[in-house]
Amino acid sequence: MNHTVRIGRRDADDPANDLYGIEFEEADDDGKILVSGGIQPVCPDCGHGHLQWAEAGYVPYHRICDVCGSHWDLHPMKYIQWGDDHPWTGTSGVTGCIVDVADMDPDPRLPDGITHAELLRAALEHGTEPNGREDQRIASACWARRARFYG
């Protein structure tokens, strides 16, 4: 393996004041992946911190848990229902076109074992937002994997 991951070491209940100052340990990649409704998931390492924006000095969508300090790379997904009698749609990773969620899997953007159907279920459980017309809705979900550091 030519990369490591950063697993937070902070043992606390409250968010830290400085995300970038939270201690972590470098470790071999354990392959941990999370799936969540919404776009600010709970950290699976500590179980109560949230993955916060931390792109300063890191790649886009880099996140750090505000409690334990674990580092993650977040992949947000949005799904839309254009009206009450229409299926949920999303942007296909294969064609880049808007297609029915039922037709989006398999998708090379997603890790093995994760499907758009699973992400949409998590998004709907989290709740939806209106999108323009009264009968249109947007649902957000995300998946994340431990951020990988090479060098």
Would the pLDDT of 133 be above 90?
Answer: no
| pLDDT band, very low/low/confident/very high, at 67 (cuts 50, 70, 90) | very high
Tokens at 39, concatenated: 């776009």
Give the residue numbers spanning the domain of 57: 3-150
The Cβ of residue 16 has, within 10 Å, a number of other Cβ atoms equal to: 20
For tokens 């998708």, name the residue.
107
- How many residues in the chain? 151
Domains of the chain: total: 1
Q: Which residues are CB-neighbours of 28 under 8 A, at least 6 positions away? A: 1, 4, 5
Q: What is the pLDDT of residues 77-90, one digit of tens each?
A: 999 999 989 999 99
The Cβ of residue 8 has, within 10 Å, a number of other Cβ atoms equal to: 23
- At 91 the pLDDT is 92
Q: Pairing between strand 62-65 and 149-150?
A: unpaired
- At 1 the pLDDT is 62
Q: What is the pLDDT of residues 17-51, one digit of tens each?
A: 999 999 999 999 999 999 999 999 999 999 999 99
Q: How far is CA 21 from the centre of its chain?
A: 22
Q: How far is CA 99 from the centre of its chain?
A: 21
Give me the percent of the chain exceeding a pLDDT of 90: 92
Query: How far is residue 134's CA from residue 140's CA, in Å, rounded to a whole number?
Result: 18
Q: Which residues are CB-neighbours of 99 under 8 A, at least 6 positions away? A: 89, 90, 91, 92
pTM score over 0.85: yes
